[in-house]
Amino acid sequence: MAWVEQFETTIPNDTAAAIEVQERIVSRLEELGYPPRDVFGCRLALEEALVNAIKHGNDNDPSKSVRVKCCIGAESFAIEIEDEGPGFEPQDVPDPTAEENLEKPSGRGIMLMRAFMTRVDYQGRGNRVLLEKARGNGDDE
């Protein structure tokens, strides 16, 4: 796969820094003409993954940081987000669409990432997530 852009960066554990990375990646996808649904899904998945890393993984600890590795091609992109936390088991997260969880105010981030990305894979001890997306055809998928 020939990537048009590749970068790796380590950001401080705060959401303002996360927004900057988000903007950088989303702008590149827009420049490459990715369909609006892909851009929407990428921004949403990035927001969810970065907030999870900062808040849950790194427990809002300002001394910690988040590593972001990004590879963007004309037909697909892959983003790796790694926090310094102890990790978790994604299968232990309750199904937010189950009747008993429907009114709970949290627990929907991973489900949204999976819905909008082609592949979401938790790696290492569960402190690293890989988001992959193949370019859509521009129709509603």
Partner 1 sequence: MASTSHRKIDVEEIGDVTVARFVDRKILDETNIQIVGNQLFTLVDDEGRRKIVLDFNNVEYLSSAALGKLITLDKKVKANGGKLRLCSVRPEIYEVFAITRLNKLFDMYDDQEKALEGF
Footprint of partner 1 on this chain (CB under 8 A)? 15-16, 18-19, 36-37, 40, 43-44, 47-48, 51, 55, 96-97, 102-109, 111-112, 115, 140
Nearer to partner 1, 55 or 67 (CB): 55
How far is residue 29's CA from residue 75's CA, in Å, rounded to a whole number?
10
Q: Are 122 and 133 in contact (CB under 8 A)?
A: no
Shortest separation between residue 11's beta carbon and partner 1, angstroms: 14
Nearer to partner 1, 2 or 139 (CB): 139
Shortest separation between residue 112's beta carbon and partner 1, angstroms: 6
Burial class of 112 by CB neighbour count within 10 A (0 to 12, 13 to 18, 19+): middle
Nearest to 41 by CA among 81, 77, 2: 77
